Amino acid sequence: MMTVSPSAGVIGAELSGVNLAELDDDSVKAIREAWLEHQVVFFRDQNLSPDQFLAFARSLGDLARYPFLPGIDGYPDIIAVTKLPDEQINFGGIWHSDTAYLDEPPMATTLLAREVPASGGDTMFASQYAAYDALSPAMKELLDPLRAVNSSAMADVSKTREDRIREHEGDELACYEAVHPVVRTHPETGRKGLYVNIAHTARFDGMTEDESRGLLQFLFHHQVKPEFTCRFHWEVGSLALWDNRCVQHNPVNDYHGFKRVMHRITLRGDRPF
């Protein structure tokens, strides 16, 4: 019997009584329903093999590969998100929605903890439904028709260790750019949420960066207010599944001198509307 325990007021829930290595159709349906309602769901003590991790992800959707980093040995769809003890910058260490610079960004991301520091290394999540709902009617009317340009070249802090090595060696990285609605309608729930983020959104479509800056800075600050967020503390075997269509996340970089290794799978999405 699966138990759903909400993590915060508007986002997040921990699901217990579930073994992700042995799921039937009813369990998958229940997990998906909880995920759509709470936007990000968490599981404990899921010591899955790579094959079991892939099977869980495939039960929810089609896999999508990350464009900048190869997978772990033998598993091209699983990437290792690693920070070593001597590193100061972590992977994706800024509020963002994964790969919003793609024409069809991923529907979901699932992250499995393999090695974690004794303390620190939490991840924060922010509901973009709640962020949109809290805006005034006049601001919603202004934002609803706007579109924004998202670029993979925006945020140095979100680049992987491998990206930085390649740049240092003079290798040129591919640049992806996509134009998406500022306010996105979720294709399954029908709810509206903000779909800009400080890591990838460069400007409004048809405007310059200078013209866009003031309103974007307001949105970047607004969409991650504490009342729209929850925070998850990782243990080995912890797994998170979040909805990139309505959630932003931010891995907290507060564990210098320690190693952290996570395995990540993303699920194929569609073109935002």
More confident residue, 96 or 174: 96
Which SS3 state, helix, strand or coil, does residue 260 take? Answer: strand
Local confidence band at 215 (pLDDT 50, 70, 90 cut-offs) = very high
- Residue-wise pLDDT for 122-169, tens only, equals 999 999 999 999 999 999 999 999 999 999 988 554 555 555 555 545
Q: What are the structural domains of the chain?
A: 3-267 (3.60.130.10)
Residue 132, pLDDT score: 99
| Count of CB atoms situated within 10 Å of the CB of 25 | 8
| Count of CB atoms situated within 10 Å of the CB of 7 | 18
C-alpha–C-alpha distance, residues 47 and 248, integer Å: 26
Which SS3 state, helix, strand or coil, does residue 23 take? Answer: coil
Local confidence band at 1 (pLDDT 50, 70, 90 cut-offs) = confident
Look up residue 241 and give its amino acid: L
Residue 142, pLDDT score: 98
Catalogue the active-site residues. Answer: 96, 98, 249, 264
**Region of residue 167 (left: phi > 0; alpha: psi -120 to 50; beta: else):** alpha
Residue 174, pLDDT score: 80
Which of 30-39, 85-94, 120-129, 241-250 shows the lowest mean pLDDT across its residues?
85-94
- Residue-wise pLDDT for 226-266, tens only, equals 999 999 999 999 999 999 999 999 999 999 999 999 999 99
Look up residue 171 and give its amino acid: D
Look up residue 194 and give its amino acid: L
Q: 7: which 2 tokens?
A: 């993590």
Q: Give me the mean pLDDT over the 77-95 stretch.
A: 93
C-alpha–C-alpha distance, residues 265 and 11, integer Å: 21
More confident residue, 202 or 91: 202
Note the pTM of the prediction, 2 decimals. Answer: 0.93
Residue 163, pLDDT score: 57
